[in-house]
Chains A and B, each alone.
Chain A
Amino acid sequence: MAARDRPECKIAPSILSADFARLAEESKRMISCGADWLHVDVMDGHFVPNLTIGAPVVKSLRKNLPDAFLDCHLMVSNPKQWILDFAKAGASLYNFHLECVMDDNTNEEQATELRSLINEVKASGMKVGISIKPKTPAEWIVPFLGEIDMVNVLTVEPGFGGQKFMSDIVGKCKIIREASKEVHIQVDGGVAPSTIDACAAVGANVIVAGSAIFGSDKPQEVIATLKKSVEAAATA
Chain B
Amino acid sequence: MQAAGQRLTMRTTASRGAKAGRLASGSSRTARSAVVAKGTDRDIQIIPSVLPADWANMGQCVADLEAAGVDRIQFDVMDGNFVPNLTFGPEMIAACRKYCKTPFETQLMVSQYASETMLKDYVDATKGPNGEPGVVIVHVEACDHLQRCLKQIRELGGSPSVALNPHTPAEMVKNVLCDVDHVLVMTVNPGFGGQAYIPTMLDKIRELRAAIVAGGYDVDIEVDGGIKADWTISQCCDAGANCFIAGSGMFAYPTLKEGCDALRAIAKDAQAGKVLPPP
Contact = CB atoms under 8 A, between A and B. Distances in A.
B54 A52 contact: no
A23 B79 contact: no
Interface of B: 51, 54-60, 62, 77-81, 84-92, 94-96, 98-99, 110-111, 113-114, 117-118
A54 B85 contact: yes
Contacts of B59: 19, 21-22
A21 B58 contact: yes
Contact of B88 (A24, A46, A53, A76): A53
B55 A51 contact: no
B87 A56 contact: yes
B55 A57 contact: yes
B149 to A, nearest CB: 16
A54 B92 contact: no
Contacts of A63: 54, 56
B85 A20 contact: no
A45 B95 contact: no
A19 B92 CA distance: 8
B79 A45 contact: yes
- Counting chain A residues whose Cβ lies within 8 A of the other chain, the interface size class is 20 to 34
B79 A57 contact: no
A53 B80 contact: no
22 contacts: A19-B59, A19-B95, A20-B95, A21-B96, A22-B58, A22-B95, A23-B56, A23-B58, A27-B56, A43-B89, A44-B80, A45-B81, A46-B81, A46-B111, A46-B113, A49-B117, A54-B86, A59-B55, A63-B54, A65-B56, A76-B86, A82-B80
B88 A45 contact: no
Nearest to A77: B81
Contacts of B99: 21
Contacts of B113: 45-46
Nearest to B77: A51
A182 interface: no
A62 to B, nearest CB: 9
A55 interface: yes
A43 B96 CA distance: 19
Interface in A57-84: 57, 59-61, 63-65, 76-78, 81-82
Given A27-B56, A64-B56, 6 more contacts: A20-B94, A23-B57, A23-B58, A54-B86, A56-B51, A81-B84
